[in-house]
């Protein structure tokens, strides 16, 4: 049985089901270390918001079906003073349709097989994926913010998406009858999985880049990528294999940690000195408080669609899926401020800036 470390000022806040799921994974033969991060919550059999390290085995289902899912953060050329919500909402059209660009060329340029191009490339997808336009609310570290060449007076954009159906296909191809056993890391099966995993991860990076490009083109602006990180992956780490399931990397530079669509997001810098205590991983967001089913059941009785299209922070929401708008409501998520406080309390991050949502885009009706 491997050791479990929980990163939280008050571990009693964790959902017991998520802890049970974490323990079940810790009991796998070959799992050596497990970390539950402050956004830990129950998933589809596997706790989300966790990192798992093994000396010599790989588990595809610990990465899951959305390989390479992650966040990119962009500073746009749009002056904040010219941002008009109504105008922006009207311009964001046609973004759920397949991208009209050359997907094969985009993948080839990224060193990926062109045959992986599909109509999904350049689209956000469903679930908790989104594009959010934001503004800088507070700069916590002015010196570092300035040193990075960042600007207060611009509209910012966060993109959350992954490998769409490609990651699901990779998982299906390597699904195990007995998932607890994993795959020996030196086996031909592991080599085949890792090659497909890495391609899906690269595809997800290209996907986020194309999504950002499409949104900028719709608004007639440009953007500069500040960071791109993935939170569903497996990678070599300290002589073994580190699986991140809903866990941002603390060894890839700057990280953005989003709240719900009605809460702040944070631009943070990992603190290397303490990173090993959390397997060089960080929370990837606020983490769910309610399941999607529970969120819909609780909120659809209390609120109407119009209520869901505005948030307590004054931001707007474009989500024309009548079920999804309730499933992904801010109420269904934990307090991002507490997640950040837990990471700071553990000495894992320093906050550079806090960002306020202006408009969250999920999907238009098709």
The residues assigned a catalytic role are: 284
Residue 36 annotated as part of some ligand binding site: no
Residue 29 annotated as part of some ligand binding site: no
Order of strands, sheet of 48-54, starting from the edge strand that comes earlier in the sequence: 3-6, 31-41, 48-54, 240-245, 232-237
Let me know: does 63 contact 190? Beta carbons within 8 Å.
no
Residue 41 annotated as part of some ligand binding site: no
Residue 237 annotated as part of some ligand binding site: no
Residue 128 annotated as part of some ligand binding site: yes
Residue 231 annotated as part of some ligand binding site: yes
Phi and psi at 136, nearest 5°, equal: -75, 120
Residue 130 annotated as part of some ligand binding site: yes
β-pairing, 31-41 vs 3-6, is: parallel
| Rounded distance between C-alpha atoms, residue 179 and residue 52, angstroms | 14
Residue 274 annotated as part of some ligand binding site: no
Residue 75 annotated as part of some ligand binding site: no
| Rounded distance between C-alpha atoms, residue 91 and residue 238, angstroms | 47
Q: Quick one: three-class SS letters along the chain? A: CCEEEECCCCHHHCCHHHHHHHHHHHCCCCEEEEEEEEEEECCCCCCEEEEEEECCEECHHHHCCCCCCEEEEEEEEEEHHHCCHHHHHHHCCCCCCCCCCCHHHHHHHCCCCHHHCCCCCCCCCCCCCEEEEEEEEEECCHHHHHHCCCCCCEEEEEEEECCCHHHHHHHHHCCCCCHHHCEECCCHHHHHHHHHHHHHHHHHHHHHHHHHHHHHHHHCCCEEEEEEEECEEEEEECCEEEEEECEEECCCCCEEECCCCCCCEEEEEECHHHHHHHCCEEECCCCECCCHHHHHHHHCCCCCHHHHCECCCCCEEEECCCCHHHHCCHHHECCHHHHHHHHHHCCCEEEEEEEEEEEEEEECCC
Residue 44 annotated as part of some ligand binding site: no
Residue 296 annotated as part of some ligand binding site: no
Residue 102 annotated as part of some ligand binding site: no
- Tokens standing for 45? 């059999």
Residue 287 annotated as part of some ligand binding site: yes
Q: Which residues are annotated as a binding site for GMP?
A: 128-132, 231-232, 265, 284-287
Q: Which residues are annotated as a binding site?
A: 128-132, 160, 231-232, 265, 284-287
Q: Which residues are annotated as a binding site for Mn(2+)?
A: 129, 160, 231
């Amino acid at each position: 049985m491997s050791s479990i470390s929980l990163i939280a000022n008050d571990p009693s806040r964790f959902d017991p089901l998520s802890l049970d799921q974490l323990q079940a994974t810790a009991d796998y033969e070959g799992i050596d270390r497990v970390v539950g991060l402050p956004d830990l919550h129950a998933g589809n059999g596997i706790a989300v918001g966790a990192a798992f390290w093994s000396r010599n085995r790989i588990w595809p289902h610990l990465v899951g079906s959305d390989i390479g899912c992650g966040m990119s953060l962009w500073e746009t050329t749009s002056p904040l003073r010219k941002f008009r919500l109504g105008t922006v909402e009207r311009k964001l059209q046609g973004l759920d349709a397949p991208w009209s660009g050359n997907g094969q060329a985009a993948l080839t340029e990224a060193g990926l097989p062109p045959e992986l191009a599909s109509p999904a490339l350049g689209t956000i997808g469903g679930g908790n994926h989104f594009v959010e336009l934001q503004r800088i609310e507070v700069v916590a570290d002015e010196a570092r913010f300035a040193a990075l060449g960042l600007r207060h007076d611009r509209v910012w954009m966060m993109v959350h998406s992954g490998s769409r159906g490609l990651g699901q296909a990779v998982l299906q191809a390597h699904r195990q009858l007995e998932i607890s056993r994993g795959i020996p890391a030196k086996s031909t099966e592991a080599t085949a999985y890792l090659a497909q995993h890495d391609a899906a991860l690269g595809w997800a990076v290209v996907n986020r880049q194309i999504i950002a490009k499409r949104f900028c083109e719709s608004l007639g602006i440009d953007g500069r990528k500040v960071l791109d990180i993935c939170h569903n992956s497996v990678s070599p780490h300290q002589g073994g294999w580190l699986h991140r399931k809903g866990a941002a990397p603390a060894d890839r530079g700057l990280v953005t940690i989003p709240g719900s669509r009605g809460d702040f997001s944070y631009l943070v810098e990992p603190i290397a000195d303490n990173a090993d205590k959390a397997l060089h991983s960080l929370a990837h967001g606020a983490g769910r408080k309610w399941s999607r089913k529970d969120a819909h059941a609780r909120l659809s009785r209390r609120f109407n669609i119009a209520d869901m299209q505005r948030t307590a922070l004054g931001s707007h929401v474009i989500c024309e899926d009548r079920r999804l708008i309730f499933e992904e409501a801010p109420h269904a998520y934990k307090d991002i401020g507490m997640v950040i406080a837990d990471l700071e309390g553990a000495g894992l991050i320093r906050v550079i800036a806090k960002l306020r949502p202006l408009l969250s885009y999920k999907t238009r009706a098709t």
